[in-house]
């Protein structure tokens, strides 16, 4: 039986380079806040719940969604993306689909492929992987990835040791690395992985988004 997933969006950043909260930026093509826009682009995935990790977001931007959303405070404040991943995983039953809140161009086919990889089984019938993580330009993409709840102890161990690199715990679990070659047919320009961190990057992303319509 195919797995079901929780969609977890990490919206805990300070948005210093953007100058305003990235999660609340209004997307011109549909007039939704970016947070809701990302969820709507991915809502056809086999998702059983949607989770937003944030210490400061109001519920208002989530009102555009027709499905319930759980807003949870970061349980590990000051620990960056790794703490956000741990916080989200605590609410996941099995697999979590993790996305940063500044990725306006996430693509459904890319995540459908990642979910398919997450379903791969061992000869004994168990899950083959604990994490499914793309690599773009040689860099892991920890907030465009899938994790099983079973990796939570490995993350908590790193947090307790003060090791906050978002990808450090991957050395301790079974990772299905996903190559650019595999992803290219689904997203030739890898725009799904584009982070809009500055006003200039936001304008670039909105230009690309408008070209999809």
pLDDT digits (tens, 9 = 90+) for 90-140: 999 999 999 999 999 999 999 999 999 999 999 999 999 999 999 999 999
| Residue-level pLDDT at 87 | 97
Confidence label for 74 from pLDDT (cuts 50, 70 and 90) = very high
Confidence label for 32 from pLDDT (cuts 50, 70 and 90) = confident
pLDDT at 84 over 80: yes
Confidence label for 55 from pLDDT (cuts 50, 70 and 90) = confident
Confidence label for 2 from pLDDT (cuts 50, 70 and 90) = low
Mean pLDDT of the chain: 91
The answer to whether 169 touches 82, Cβ cutoff 8 Å, is yes
Structure confidence by residue, pLDDT tens digits, 170-182:
999 999 999 999 9
Distances (CA, A) of 212 to 107, 111, 207: 11, 18, 9
The answer to whether 206 touches 161, Cβ cutoff 8 Å, is no
Confidence label for 201 from pLDDT (cuts 50, 70 and 90) = very high
pTM for the model stands at: 0.93
Residue 191 and residue 106: Cα distance in Å, rounded?
Answer: 7
User: Phi/psi of residue 155, each to 5°?
Assistant: -70, -45
Look up residue 169 and give its two tokens. 């715990």
DSSP state of 6: E
Higher per-residue confidence, 107 vs 19: 107
pLDDT at 64 over 60: no
Task: Provide, rounded to the nearest whole percent, the portion of the chain with pLDDT above 90.
Answer: 77
Give every CB contact of residue 62 below 8 A, 6+ residues apart in sequence: 35, 36, 52, 69, 71
């Amino acid at each position: 039986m195919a797995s079901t997933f929780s969609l977890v969006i990490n919206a805990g950043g300070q948005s210093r380079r953007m100058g305003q909260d990235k999660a609340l930026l209004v997307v011109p093509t549909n007039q939704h806040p970016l947070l809701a826009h990302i969820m709507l682009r991915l809502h056809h995935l086999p998702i059983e719940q949607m989770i937003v990790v944030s210490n400061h977001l109001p519920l208002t931007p989530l009102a555009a969604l027709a499905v319930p959303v759980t807003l949870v405070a970061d349980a590990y404040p000051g620990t960056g993306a790794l703490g956000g991943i741990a916080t989200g995983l605590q609410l996941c039953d099995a697999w979590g689909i993790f996305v940063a809140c500044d990725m306006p161009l996430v693509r459904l086919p890319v995540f459908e492929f990642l979910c398919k990889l997450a379903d791969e089984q061992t000869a004994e019938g168990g899950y083959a992987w604990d994490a499914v993580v793309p690599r773009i330009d040689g860099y892991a993409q920890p907030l465009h990835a899938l994790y099983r709840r079973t990796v939570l102890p490995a993350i908590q161990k790193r947090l307790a040791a003060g090791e906050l690199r978002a990808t450090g715990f991957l050395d301790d679990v079974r990772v299905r690395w996903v190559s650019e070659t595999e992803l290219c047919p689904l997203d030739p320009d890898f725009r799904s992985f584009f982070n809009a961190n500055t006003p200039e990057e936001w304008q670039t992303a909105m230009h690309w988004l408008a070209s999809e319509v």
